[in-house]
Amino acid sequence: MFKRATKKFLMIAGMSVGAVLFTTQAYSQQGMPLRQQGQQPTQSADYSDAEIEKFIEGNQVVQTIQKEKRPEMMQVIEKQEGMDMQTFNQIAQAQQQGGGDFSEEKMAAFQKVSMKLQQKQQEMQQEMAERLPEEVGISMKKFQEMMMAYRQDPAFQKEVQAKMQN
């Protein structure tokens, strides 16, 4: 049971920040690194039990928002003429790896879809920024800070996982 809950949280954790950051990264021409140059990784995270509980609850809110918005984002891709999910993913992956040989038509469709997805992503981030404080009592900034700490600090990961087990 604990392993399943932990696995689910890790998946959600990856998705929540991943979705927020990946879309911006994959679809912007310059790409935004997860950690800015010169910025140090989060050191030992020191959060109260109440903050950790809010973080866990906030992750559930983020997952719900993502689940609600996923069909809309998929429709953006599927409605674009000359683009399907597989092609979009291939181009996105190729761009992340710094390459790819696609037709001008495919790249134009990809750019069009990317811009629309950025808009949808901004809407999703806005909804998260509104709902997290309302429903859980944690700001988006604090949630993102804690998510970064969760990803970088094994001690904090264990602390969160222990809370989830209880």
Q: What is the pLDDT of residue 153?
A: 93
| pLDDT tens-digit readout, 44-73 | 578 999 999 999 999 999 999 999 999 999
Percentage of residues in the chain with pLDDT exceeding 70?
73
The 3 state secondary structure assigned to 96-153 is: HCCCCCCCHHHHHHHHHHHHHHHHHHHHHHHHHHHHHHHHHCCCHHHHHHHHHHHHHC
Residue 11 has pLDDT above 80, yes or no: no
Q: What is the pLDDT of residue 59?
A: 94
Q: What is the pLDDT of residue 29?
A: 33
What is the band of 143 on the pLDDT scale with cuts at 50, 70, 90? very high
CB 89 within 8 A of CB 163: no
| pLDDT tens-digit readout, 89-124 | 999 999 888 888 899 989 999 999 999 999 999 999
Give mean pLDDT, residues 66-89: 90
Is pTM beyond 0.85? Reply is: no
Give mean pLDDT, residues 18-32: 34
Q: What is the pLDDT of residue 44?
A: 52
CB 88 within 8 A of CB 114: no
Among the listed residues 124, 131, 90, 129, the one whose alpha carbon sits nearest the alpha carbon of residue 107: 90
Q: Which residues contact 139 (CB under 8 A, 6 or more apart)?
A: 129, 132, 133
